[in-house]
Structure 1
Amino acid sequence: MTAHDLPDLEAFEDCFVNNADLERVSGYLNRFNPIRVMRMEHMEIRHSAILAWLLDPVETHGFDDRFLRAFLSQALRRQSVRREPSALDVAQADLRDAEIRREKHNIDLFVTSPGNGWAFVIENKFHSKQHNGQLKRYLDHAKGEAEDAGLTLKHRGIFLTLHEEDPDENVGDDYVSLRYEDICNILDALMADGGVKVAPEVRQFISHYLEIIKDAAGMNEEQMKMEILAKQLYRKHKKVLNFIMEHGAVTEFTMAAESLFGSDLEYGDEVEIDGAQYMYSWNSDHQYSFIPVSWRKPLGGKDKIDIWEGCESWWARYPLICWFELYEDADGMKGRLRLFAEVGPLSNFEHRKKLIKGIKRAADRAGLGEVQFRADAEREGARYSKFLKSTANSILISDVSDLEVE
């Protein structure tokens, strides 16, 4: 961002002082929703837990088997080939004997109604995509398990998605599709049904859940209005908002890193942690790069940074870098923090090869064992060679939103 692009004080005041449109957007974003507060709105496994509760006829929602019948019959309405059970069969059935299981043999939701002789494998894809052969494997396993137990069940698969996506073609007509939009319509109808006795706290929870789904599925009319307003605000206050995004955005990862390394660091700043000195390089919302000062000194220290040709625009501009990187699991809750170190793109290949050999000797002298590089790391033309890359240099994070540093 050039000096010409920098917003002045008047631009900030125009954006933030008594701006009714901004207040409207802020109020919308700050709606209380416990699912959003706990950061579970994008966690597929949490949606499966809520759906298991809604589908279970003996649970505390008060719907009896109404939601289950509506869910299954709506899915079966979309079957291209008429098979048993049909949507009408399910809509008229008594499903109060249904059993709901979660994550058994990796099946998201498994519904059986022994009295009707039916079984349904439900694969839930809120944001993630199906894996090759996944749907067929789950259905085959469910059929095999029933056969081993001597049960005669008619199995069907339901592929539940947030947006339009067809089941893998290798499952043929064994799977039918259902969208979260259908769940919204079903729940809206049940909530409006005067014959359904729903406790106030259940009604409140379901309204929160409906808000989450409608936001994600693009069904929330208020959200659409806010998106239009947000675009207008951005066009009007582009300089200010771009400046804030570039210099003010933080995540749980960056806040946790700052609690360890310190905040407002600039390139080249040194920090001490547990008696060791580190030079700060750069960070993003999921990476934090640095160099141990004990490495920087043999590389020429502060005064000879420009001697490393080829690395002028690479990380810290030295031929070596370390960084932490956070990888989140698909459920958005757990993750893994990994430590990497890498030799960079030195133009002088003889220097690069000498550096790699030196790293190996230093590790051996320190009793750290053999350092593993790629087989081609010392060959002409190699550019990037990690040497701290095994999963042993990582820790499991049970909750990526927990800022506590141990």
Structure 2
Amino acid sequence: MSLKNNDAHLPTLDDLEILFVNNADLDNIRAHLSRFNPIKTMGMERMEIRHSAILGWLLNPQETHGLGDTFLKAFLAQAIRDDNSKARPTALDVSQADMMDAEIRREWRNIDLLVLSPRNGWVFVIENKFDSGQHSNQLKRYMDVVNATFIGSDSFHLVRGIFVTLWEEKPEDDRYAAIEYGTICELLRQTALSGRQPLTPEVQTFLKHYLDVIREATGMSDEQAEMEKLARQLYRDNRRALDFIVEHGKSTDFSFACDAVFGEDLEDEAVIKVGKREFIFNHSDAQSFSFVPKAWYDAFGGDEYWWHGCENWWAGFPLITWIQLTSDANGASGQVRLYAEVGPLSDHDFRRDLIAAITDVAKKKSLTTIGFQRGAADEGKKYSKFFKKNFFAVDDIHDHDKISNAIKKALKSFEAEMDVVAKVLPQFVSHGQEESSE
């Protein structure tokens, strides 16, 4: 993994003062971003499963929102109305029906939402796609299982599919009627926030927050559009200062977790201690934290040598380790990954022999967690990772405590690997060039 060297010009004091001192545009953006929204606060605005939960709550006539079946019927009727098929029930059938008996099932047979109305004999299969795409035959499978389970029984005789999409995506199965989140936004405004329904202040506040989320996601928010325009102009006017701040100042749950494990405000080549282990700090940013195990550092002669080819690579050493956090498709869970890599040494023979030595000692110690890909030692190869089974699950990537626990687990799990690698390194010190000789 190469480390890009950033040669961007540093901002002047005047640049920073223009950006931060009495800047009305920045104050407006800060005020916009500071608005409290519980859905955003909990990091749920892009999580499809959370949107399904909110939609299920709104559709359930027995729930605490106080809408009864008003939104349920408006939602179903609008979706069906926009569909060109002549299937039953029609939009008129739904709008005139009493659906207070409707049961809402979430994740039944992996179906996002299932609406059952025994009084009317109707079943609605609702598939929600907020950010994800359709899977092969997914809609057909859901329709088939519902038909096999419910249709033909004493209670149900008609089934229709509803496909909820953030964008103008067409369902792959023509038995589904599509409805966009933009339409849902308008339906909520008409049915829930028009003043015609006596809602509690708590419900009104929550729905306003949810509408803000949908409007921003669909590009329907005038305020968001204005703030984005203002932000673009602010960036154009203050590009040098903002580029510098983004590169060096941003913090994430991952960086907070690294601070908790390794310490804050670390200097280059600082010795950091985690448990009984010591590491030499290299670099940290919002996505990664790199370091060299002190045993490796000492085995290579510390800072007494420099290594041809690695001068501008990570710590300037032949080897590096780093921690990185990745997210799963659901945006909620992920993995902490611990990487180790042989870098771009100019001396091919040295690089080849180093890889061979690490491979051999791992085999002797029966460590299946160390291994290189085929061709790692080939001439011209620059970056070769060698830690395997190096993923550690995090069920909530927005919880820095859980991230820090996974980081500690990763470091603890690879103590033996770090030790055996350290044992083979002293034989290669002769390949380094003493600093004083330059």
Instruction: Give TM-score scaled by structure 1 length.
Output: 0.88
Map 1:308-323 to 2 at 5 A: 309=309, 311-323=310-322
Map 1:254-403 to 2 at 5 A: 254-299=255-300, 301-307=302-308, 309=309, 311-346=310-345, 348-366=347-365, 368-369=367-368, 371-378=370-377, 383-390=382-389, 393-403=390-400
Q: How many residues align?
A: 398
Question: By how many angstroms is 1:101 displaced?
Answer: 1.1
Stretch of structure 1 that moved more, 100-109 or 396-405: 396-405
Map 1:175-254 to 2 at 5 A: 175-254=176-255
Partner deviation per Cα, 1:194-221 (whole Å, 9 max, x = no partner): 4422112111111111111111111111
Q: What are structure 2's unaligned runs of at least 5 residues?
A: 1-5, 406-438
Seen in structure 2, the aligned counterparts of structure 1 residues 298 and 151 have a Cα distance that, compared at 3 Å, is: farther
Aligned residue number for residue 41 of structure 1: 45
Question: By how many angstroms is 1:381 displaced?
Answer: 5.8
Match of 2:159 among 131, 147, 155: 155
Aligned counterparts of 2:296 and 2:194: Cα–Cα separation in 1: 70
Aligned counterparts of 1:111 and 1:15: Cα–Cα separation in 2: 53
SS in 1 for 2:320: strand
| 1:111 correspondence with 2:115 | yes
Stretch of structure 1 that moved more, 294-303 or 236-245: 294-303
Partner deviation per Cα, 1:179-198 (whole Å, 9 max, x = no partner): 11111101100134444221
Partner deviation per Cα, 1:58-100 (whole Å, 9 max, x = no partner): 1011111111111111111222322112222222222112111
Aligned residue number for residue 123 of structure 1: 127
Aligned residue number for residue 412 of structure 2: none
- Given residue 57 of structure 1, which amino acid in structure 2 is its aligned partner? P
Seen in structure 2, the aligned counterparts of structure 1 residues 58 and 12 have a Cα distance that, compared at 3 Å, is: same
Divergent runs of 4+, >6 A? 148-151
Aligned residue number for residue 22 of structure 1: 26
SS in 2 for 1:96: coil
Seen in structure 2, the aligned counterparts of structure 1 residues 365 and 123 have a Cα distance that, compared at 3 Å, is: same
Question: By how many angstroms is 1:313 displaced?
Answer: 4.8
Contact 2:193 2:204 in 1 (8 A): no
Stretch of structure 1 that moved more, 251-260 or 325-334: 325-334
Contact 2:250 2:285 in 1 (8 A): no
Question: By how many angstroms is 1:379 displaced?
Answer: 5.3
Aligned counterparts of 1:346 and 1:2: Cα–Cα separation in 2: 23
Aligned counterparts of 2:364 and 2:257: Cα–Cα separation in 1: 34
Contact 1:333 1:401 in 2 (8 A): yes
Aligned counterparts of 2:241 and 2:368: Cα–Cα separation in 1: 52
Question: By how many angstroms is 1:300 displaced?
Answer: 5.1
| 1:66 correspondence with 2:60 | no
Aligned counterparts of 1:145 and 1:327: Cα–Cα separation in 2: 39
Question: By how many angstroms is 1:352 displaced?
Answer: 3.5
Seen in structure 2, the aligned counterparts of structure 1 residues 377 and 104 have a Cα distance that, compared at 3 Å, is: farther
Contact 1:360 1:370 in 2 (8 A): no
Aligned counterparts of 2:388 and 2:241: Cα–Cα separation in 1: 40
- Given residue 201 of structure 2, which amino acid in structure 1 is its aligned partner? P
Partner deviation per Cα, 1:214-271 (whole Å, 9 max, x = no partner): 1111111112222222222222222222221122111110121122222333543332
Aligned counterparts of 1:95 and 1:142: Cα–Cα separation in 2: 19
Stretch of structure 1 that moved more, 140-149 or 248-257: 140-149
Partner deviation per Cα, 1:111-135 (whole Å, 9 max, x = no partner): 1222222222222122222233332
Q: What are structure 1's unaligned runs of at least 5 residues?
A: none
- Given residue 109 of structure 1, which amino acid in structure 2 is its aligned partner? L
Aligned counterparts of 1:31 and 1:221: Cα–Cα separation in 2: 15
Question: By how many angstroms is 1:50 displaced?
Answer: 0.8
- Given residue 360 of structure 1, which amino acid in structure 2 is its aligned partner? T
Aligned residue number for residue 409 of structure 2: none
Aligned counterparts of 1:351 and 1:140: Cα–Cα separation in 2: 62
Seen in structure 2, the aligned counterparts of structure 1 residues 193 and 272 have a Cα distance that, compared at 3 Å, is: closer
SS in 2 for 1:318: coil
Stretch of structure 1 that moved more, 215-224 or 362-371: 362-371
Seen in structure 2, the aligned counterparts of structure 1 residues 87 and 348 have a Cα distance that, compared at 3 Å, is: farther
SS in 2 for 1:246: helix
- Given residue 34 of structure 1, which amino acid in structure 2 is its aligned partner? P
Aligned residue number for residue 17 of structure 2: 13
Stretch of structure 1 that moved more, 18-27 or 178-187: 18-27
Seen in structure 2, the aligned counterparts of structure 1 residues 161 and 383 have a Cα distance that, compared at 3 Å, is: same
Seen in structure 2, the aligned counterparts of structure 1 residues 89 and 371 have a Cα distance that, compared at 3 Å, is: same
Instruction: Give TM-score scaled by structure 2 length.
Output: 0.82
SS in 2 for 1:32: coil
Aligned counterparts of 1:164 and 1:342: Cα–Cα separation in 2: 44
